Structure 1
Amino acid sequence: MTTTTTHPGATSAICTEATRLVRGATFGDGQLTTRFGTLRLKSLPPGAEAALRALADGDRADADITGLVVAGDGEAGLLRWQMLRGRLDAMGLLEHTVTGPDGTPLARLVAVGRGSTALRAAPRGPVRLSRHALLLPADGVLTLRAPGSPLAVELGAAAMEFLTALTARTERTPAPLLRLLATAGALEPGGPDTDAEACRGSIQWDPVDLAFHTRTRTPAAAPGYGGTYPHADRFPPEPAAAPAADGPAVPLPVPDLDAIAAREPSLTEVLEGRTSTRAHDPEAPLTLDQLGELLYRTVRIRSTFTGSDGQELADRPLPSGGAVHELEVYPLVTNCAGLEPGLYRYAPDRHELQLVGAPGPATAPLVKEARDAAMMTGDPQVVLLVAARFGRVMWKYETVAYPLILKHVGVLYQTVYLVATAMGLAVCALGGGDTTAFAAATGRDPLLEGSVGELVLGSRPPARPEPSAAAGD
């Protein structure tokens, strides 16, 4: 179909619109098969069958499809076809394209999640590109996505000038292209003197943060939610515990949990007494026994077992989604009685510390960053660097993989806080860290195992200072 529009914010250029079934779709024997599943279409008349086969082959203008339906089913078949076409749109099984006056492809509306692809009307009045829309490369094509939308717009090179105009709010954009962008949720009302988004709470969101939030909290907007095993055919599952390193190891004493339970305060007392303590006692530093007890009571592996999918899973004192337990703890020791300074990795299956590296230029930035983040006047006695072996989670999960890791970090923070409080130790969780510095100190590939959290740990000073208003809790 060709369209000429008088929309106030659109050009009068003639564009061609076409439709096709989602790529990879096949139709035969009354069955429409797509990546979303199989749809059985019984007793279709010949014209409708011909139209579906044509849409499975590629882009077709509405006039061409109408001709096929009428040729096979007569004028009376058009109503039934329109009902079927509306059903396909509602299920997100169609793609819509717009081609410019010179035949150059402008854009294609595609489903990236689960939602209707039925085109909206072109918006009335001035519009602008949403400040939260993101332009991303995907399979060699630039794709425009709005947070929370199950649809995306694949853009041709000729569409770039129109996007630039929409961003500047001086657009003269073809109405068919506006319809695609509006259907994908990428447009907002507003002209040169108005900005509707600036008057809403959404302006507080960074576009990348909002995209991450909606992708992981709006299942319909994501291609794979939950346990989808996206790359299980390419990578084997990682073991529950990382293999032992070649360096020296420090065996840790096993604490007597029965004796600890008999002498420690109640859970309520621990919860009420929990606070962030940013000062350590240099005269009586944390001991190796205390560090070992804290690690044993929080992150040791109590047992392992094999899941129904063949992945080795673990049981630890703290919970983990799917029992994958991807988190590793690296104590960075500055002052701990009975233990040489250095960077260690806690081996949760063997309850020992493995030396990663001696103090030096690689570890100094991590100590300084922790000291500055905690607003301490001296170096923390121990920094617990929390890392994630990402493949443990990403082997099974897709869309929710990284947010699941962040939830696990929060669980670990609270578990360490409670145990450290019960032990009378000083602990303070940090809000950020440097995964590049962690990679430099450990030699780990940051995309395979990277830092995702940090806590400072030490002995509690005799007289705890009052926390400042700026220090948080």
Structure 2
Amino acid sequence: MTHTPLPVLRLRRDATVTDGRIDTPFGVLPLKQLPPGAAAALTALSTRDTADNELAALVVAGDGEGGLMRWHLLHARLAATGLLEHAVTGPDGQIAARLVPRGRGSTALASWPAGADPVPVRLSRFALLRTEDAVLTLQAPGSHLAVELAPAAASLLGQLGDWTKDLPAPLLRLLATAGLLTRADHGPDGLPADSEATGRGPAQWHPLDLAFHSRTRTPAAASGYGGTYPGKARFEPEPAAAPLGDGPRITLDTPDLDQVAARDPSLTQVLEARTSRRAHDDELPLTVEQLAELLYRTLRIRSVFTGSDGQELADRPYPSGGAVHELEVYPLVTSCRGLDPGLYRYAADRHELEHVAVPGPATAALVKEARDAAMMRTDPQVVLLVAARFGRVMWKYETVAYPLILKHVGVLYQTLYLTAEAMGLAACGLGGGDTTAFAAATGRDPLLEGSVGELVIGSRAPEPAESAPEPAAAAAAEG
């Protein structure tokens, strides 16, 4: 791209012009009756990429010089409401790069310094490059704008890996408008310095973490947000309860909740006493009856019903957005009285354990990982592997689907923590896990059902007795 790119623009391609209005994915922009020149310019914008001087010529031809002021006001209104796409051409006259809206917000171009000595710039370390509709697309976290790149412009990205002044200003202006560039500050040695690497705000974020945070917490930057049903047109909703597995099933005892309520400490006592307990009583391990009670009180499906959207929903002891309840729990048993070691799945609709796998290298890896994460001296008696059936959430929710799953993991952790505390058990939530190891142990497709949390459960080790004072110290105390 050694030539000077020609800036052009057009109406965003998902907008349509009808009599007196522009229909967009985000609503309708009403238009007063336009004079012939302005109407011709708007028609040109809605059908092809057009240069500013060509638009001005259409306006003048229909409305005279006096029509330009009204056209400029309409142009500014279109940009402010995010209805314009800006582009630059390549050496072949074809579009090389295009600034496109991906959400809601202005598409007005950023100001760009003119002059013989421009400021050095380089690509932001947060910029994300991906293929979208067979086109290379760059987007910055939190930005409602993206830049589509044709090969003529994509080949220049390597130059933006370091400070440069040599790229065409119209192209850099598109990238800057989308928030994809960082400008050089002067470092103490006089060389260019990057504020993204030195400022505490940007420096503390990993690009993928910031992209995830911004995508899920900036609704204006996404084309769809919330309950948009992105999967409804392609897939049937998954049932509330997971289908039966192939392994043997173990029916669990059902606790008497009246007796449970009579013996439980108060909620305040449980909240004040709750702590992460990593020490298990290896002489007196957890029993299958205790595990059954814990699972029943925290995870069972109390009822199933059909929502207004046709999706089967569930009621369980902990909350879930939209009542989708996508979480499944797999007890990985090392030592539990009345239950053979191995990996099981808790069938929440039937209060049963389904046998998934016997102990082996894959389950051993999961046990070791949990032991190391909890900093335990011995293997945990039971590891509750929390998995998500992603389609339960992603069928309905867009953009917020995965963070919603993580919120569900959090409330499940607290429900398990408090119930275990009330039962006198040891519970310890873990901060990370390995979905690859989970897939190996369960045989589940990690894109359909993958692990999203882990919590260690066991019998509570006796509290250490207070040490008796040394004789000299005791004598001194008596004195």
- TM-score scaled to structure 1, two decimals? 0.93
Q: How many angstroms does 1:220 deviate by?
A: 0.6
Matched, 1:422 2:422: yes
Matched with 1:268 is 268
Q: How many angstroms does 1:383 deviate by?
A: 0.7
Mean CA deviation greater in 101-110 or 312-321? 101-110
Q: Is the 8 A contact 1:237 1:311 kept in 2?
A: yes
Q: Give SS of 2:361's match.
A: coil
| AA aligned opposite 2:194 | D
Q: Give SS of 1:68's match.
A: helix
Q: Give SS of 1:458's match.
A: strand
Matched with 2:144 is 150
Mean CA deviation greater in 326-335 or 372-381? 372-381
Matched, 1:312 2:312: yes
| AA aligned opposite 1:259 | Q
Q: Give SS of 1:194's match.
A: strand
Matched with 2:159 is 165
Q: Is the 8 A contact 2:119 2:165 kept in 1?
A: no
| AA aligned opposite 1:198 | A
What do the CA deviations read for 1:357-404 (whole angstroms, capped 9, x no partner)? 111223221111111111222211111000000011011100100000
Q: How many angstroms does 1:55 deviate by?
A: 1.2
Matched, 1:55 2:45: yes
Matched with 2:301 is 301
Q: Is the 8 A contact 1:165 1:171 kept in 2?
A: no
> Alignment partner for residue 74 of structure 2, among 84, 96, 102?
84
What do the CA deviations read for 1:114-160 (whole angstroms, capped 9, x no partner)? 11000011146222221111112211111111111110111122223
Q: How many angstroms does 1:166 deviate by?
A: 2.5
> Alignment partner for residue 182 of structure 1, among 144, 161, 176?
176
CA–CA distance in structure 1, aligned partners of residues 26 and 126 of structure 2: 28
Consecutive aligned runs of 4 or more in structure 1 exceeding 4 Å deviation: none
CA–CA distance in structure 1, aligned partners of residues 347 and 464 of structure 2: 32
CA–CA distance in structure 1, aligned partners of residues 464 and 327 of structure 2: 31
Q: Is the 8 A contact 1:371 1:380 kept in 2?
A: yes
Query: 1:335-374 alignment to 2 at 5 Å?
Result: 335-374=335-374
Matched, 1:111 2:101: yes
> Alignment partner for residue 122 of structure 1, among 94, 107, 112?
112
CA–CA distance in structure 1, aligned partners of residues 154 and 330 of structure 2: 47
What do the CA deviations read for 1:18-40 (whole angstroms, capped 9, x no partner)? 00111133223223223333333
CA–CA distance in structure 1, aligned partners of residues 389 and 65 of structure 2: 62
| AA aligned opposite 2:192 | D
Q: Is the 8 A contact 1:301 1:314 kept in 2?
A: yes
Q: How many angstroms does 1:247 deviate by?
A: 2.0
Q: Give SS of 2:10's match.
A: strand
| AA aligned opposite 2:55 | I
Q: How many angstroms does 1:423 deviate by?
A: 0.7
Q: Give SS of 2:453's match.
A: strand
Matched with 1:400 is 400
CA–CA distance in structure 2, aligned partners of residues 240 and 393 of structure 1: 11
Larger Rg: 2
CA–CA distance in structure 1, aligned partners of residues 338 and 271 of structure 2: 30
Q: Is the 8 A contact 1:225 1:398 kept in 2?
A: yes
CA–CA distance in structure 1, aligned partners of residues 431 and 380 of structure 2: 16
Flag the 1:293–1:153 CA change in 2: closer, same or farther, 3 A. Answer: same
Matched, 1:194 2:184: no
Matched with 2:133 is 139
| AA aligned opposite 1:71 | A
Matched with 2:472 is none
Aligned residues: 456
Q: How many angstroms does 1:161 deviate by?
A: 4.7
Matched, 1:432 2:423: no
| AA aligned opposite 1:200 | G
CA–CA distance in structure 2, aligned partners of residues 210 and 56 of structure 1: 35
| AA aligned opposite 2:304 | T
Matched, 1:225 2:225: yes
Matched with 1:7 is none
CA–CA distance in structure 1, aligned partners of residues 290 and 312 of structure 2: 30
CA–CA distance in structure 2, aligned partners of residues 223 and 198 of structure 1: 30
| AA aligned opposite 2:289 | D
Q: Is the 8 A contact 1:16 1:101 kept in 2?
A: no
Aligned identity (percent) is 71
CA–CA distance in structure 2, aligned partners of residues 392 and 310 of structure 1: 12
CA–CA distance in structure 2, aligned partners of residues 427 and 141 of structure 1: 49
Matched with 2:447 is 447
CA–CA distance in structure 2, aligned partners of residues 176 and 329 of structure 1: 54
Matched with 1:8 is none
CA–CA distance in structure 2, aligned partners of residues 171 and 133 of structure 1: 19
Matched, 1:100 2:94: no
| AA aligned opposite 1:133 | A
Q: How many angstroms does 1:45 deviate by?
A: 1.4
CA–CA distance in structure 2, aligned partners of residues 154 and 100 of structure 1: 13
CA–CA distance in structure 2, aligned partners of residues 449 and 25 of structure 1: 38
Flag the 1:126–1:293 CA change in 2: closer, same or farther, 3 A. Answer: same
Query: 1:321-340 alignment to 2 at 5 Å?
Result: 321-340=321-340
CA–CA distance in structure 1, aligned partners of residues 252 and 465 of structure 2: 32
Q: Is the 8 A contact 1:162 1:171 kept in 2?
A: no
Q: Give SS of 2:387's match.
A: strand
Q: Give SS of 1:363's match.
A: helix
| AA aligned opposite 1:136 | R
Q: Give SS of 2:193's match.
A: coil
Flag the 1:412–1:464 CA change in 2: closer, same or farther, 3 A. Answer: farther
What do the CA deviations read for 1:160-191 (whole angstroms, capped 9, x no partner)? 35432232113312111121111111122216
CA–CA distance in structure 2, aligned partners of residues 161 and 232 of structure 1: 38
Matched with 2:376 is 376
Matched with 1:279 is 279
Q: Is the 8 A contact 1:298 1:415 kept in 2?
A: yes
- TM-score scaled to structure 2, two decimals? 0.92
| AA aligned opposite 1:249 | R
CA–CA distance in structure 2, aligned partners of residues 247 and 127 of structure 1: 60
Query: 1:239-250 alignment to 2 at 5 Å?
Result: 239-250=239-250
What do the CA deviations read for 1:218-271 (whole angstroms, capped 9, x no partner)? 111111111100120111111111112232111111111111111121111111
CA–CA distance in structure 2, aligned partners of residues 106 and 67 of structure 1: 25
Q: Give SS of 1:364's match.
A: helix
- Extract unaligned runs of 5+ from structure 2: 186-190, 467-479
Q: Is the 8 A contact 1:162 1:172 kept in 2?
A: no
Flag the 1:465–1:291 CA change in 2: closer, same or farther, 3 A. Answer: farther
